[in-house]
Amino acid sequence: MASDVGSSHIATFSGTYRSTPQTARQSDEKIEKYWRSTVTQQPIPNNLRSLEWEDLKEAWHFNRINYVHHFRTRLEWGGTDSERLVLDDAAAQVTEHSVTRCCNKPTVFYWLQSAQGTNNRGERVFLHGVIYATIFQEWLRCHHSRPDVNSEHFFANPIRITTTGPSTVRGIIDAHHSLCVQVSNVIHQAGGRADSFVKELPSGLSRHYSLFALYRALVTIIDHTWYAPEPEPDGMLSLGRVAQNQTVLIARTGMEADLSAPISFDIIKAQSFPIKVCDAIGPEDDVTKVSLATAVRFIVELETREKLAKSHTTMTSHHDFCLDPSAPEGYEGDRQVCSNPDAWADASIVSADEHGYDNNIDTWYSVRRVQARLIGEDFCKLEHLPLCPKWRY
């Protein structure tokens, strides 16, 4: 098998390079330089063609998730207040431009003032990006790296609470009731189609937005930010460590009539932390305190339960064509090809056979990534990188 891999490697690329794994690992810089300098020789051997087909399918999923990660949810969690909802002394104001932020999510993430970062004037206005990065990592893990990202589906949307906003769980729940009423009213006024508010939606396409029953029933609250007492030996911050040490509050809102079954915290009781009754938490509040990792897993499992119970109703996912990759040459305008990973991989290889593997960015990367992997090297791995170079998963 090793000789077959080696001969295929030599036949596929021009240039001089080893074709079998070596004992001494090459530097990342040398690996990167080599694979970027190669020119693909055609035809591609059949054993590589099948591997590339699998790689292109994986790239289809990866690129859709990566787009959401970097250009949708990250902006809402890490941007300014113009990118997210803000809760002041009244309630978070929902408009036709912001209503979709609350849709297709199993919970909402309320940021108390005590958990927010300060600006140069000492005002608490920042949401720490490490929390979003950790949530994203745990969310991916719960979905085995294949979450549904159609129509802005994610674990939660953030709502920053201002200095005049509620500071207790009961106050947040009351504000959440108001928020859900507003969202429902805006969607109802649009004839039940919130996607009509999405300005960038191309003509003829649609998305499916709804306010999940679970979103009404459950809120997640962060009241402090955990800081690592010391970095890892490599100087990096482990997001896995953040996930285990950062705690959040999960509270039932009392709006569970539309759920398939009541919510119970019994299943995570063993992972919960003691809660002291204080000004923020009253004795009547149904609240639990758990790690961020436990919270994400628990809520994703509840969402899965509801989806299975109501798969024929509002929780049915619609394909989001806006996330699909570009059509390969010769298939321009064919949405059906781009909306299916198998069809897109087929079309990409057919197009590359005719127009050249190096003339399409997707097949250019894929053929090199597959070849590198065959000899134990990493080139342009399909991995979701943390948003900060000092963080790692």
Cross-strand pairs, 110: 159, 221
Predicted pLDDT at 373: 94
d(CA 219, CA 251): 5
Coil/strand/helix, residue 381? coil
Strand, coil or helix: 247: strand
Per-residue pLDDT at 313 = 52
Q: Which residue has the tokens 């990534």?
A: 369
Q: How many distinct helices (H) and strands (E) make up the chain?
A: 12, 10
Placement of tokens 């693909």 in the chain? 40
CA–CA gap between residue 388 and residue 65 (Å, rounded): 18
- Give the model's pLDDT for residue 199: 54
pLDDT in tens, 185-221: 888 777 655 655 665 544 444 568 889 999 999 999 9
Distance CA 91, CA 110 (A): 12
Token pair 């299975």: residue: 308
Residue 9 burial (CB count, 10 A): 19
pLDDT of residue 197: 60
Give SS3 for 24.
coil
State how far the Cα of 242 lies from the Cα of 216, in Å rounded to an integer: 27
3-state secondary structure 47-60: HHHHHHHHHHHHHH
pLDDT value at residue 35: 94
> Phi/psi zone of residue 136: left (φ > 0), alpha (ψ -120 to 50 degrees), beta?
alpha
Dihedral of alpha carbons 327, 151, 105, 96, sign: positive
The token pair that represents 79 in the structure block = 């941007």
Burial (CB < 10 A; 0-12, 13-18, 19+), residue 267, is exposed
Alpha-carbon distances, residue 240 vs 10, 70, 251 (angstroms): 40, 20, 24
Cβ neighbors of 308 (< 8 A, separation 6 or more) are: none
For 301, phi and psi rounded to 5 degrees? Answer: -65, -40
66 vs 374: CA distance, rounded Å? 25
H helix runs in the chain, sequence order: 2-12, 28-37, 46-68, 74-78, 129-142, 169-189, 213-217, 239-245, 292-309, 335-338, 341-355, 361-374
CB 5 within 8 A of CB 375: yes
Q: Hunting for tokens 């049915």 — which residue is that? A: 316
Report the SS3 class of residue 231.
Answer: coil
| pTM for the model | 0.87
- Helix extents (H) in 69-99: 74-78
Mode of pairing for the β-strands spanning 85-87 and 156-161: parallel
Neighbour-count burial of 59, counting CB atoms closer than 10 A to its CB (0-12 exposed, 13-18 middle, 19+ buried): buried
3-state secondary structure of 160: strand
- Residues of the chain falling short of pLDDT 50: 1-11, 15-21, 23, 201-205, 312, 314-316
Tokens 């342009």 identify what position? 380
pLDDT at 24: 56
Backbone angles phi, psi at 381, to 5 degrees: -60, 145
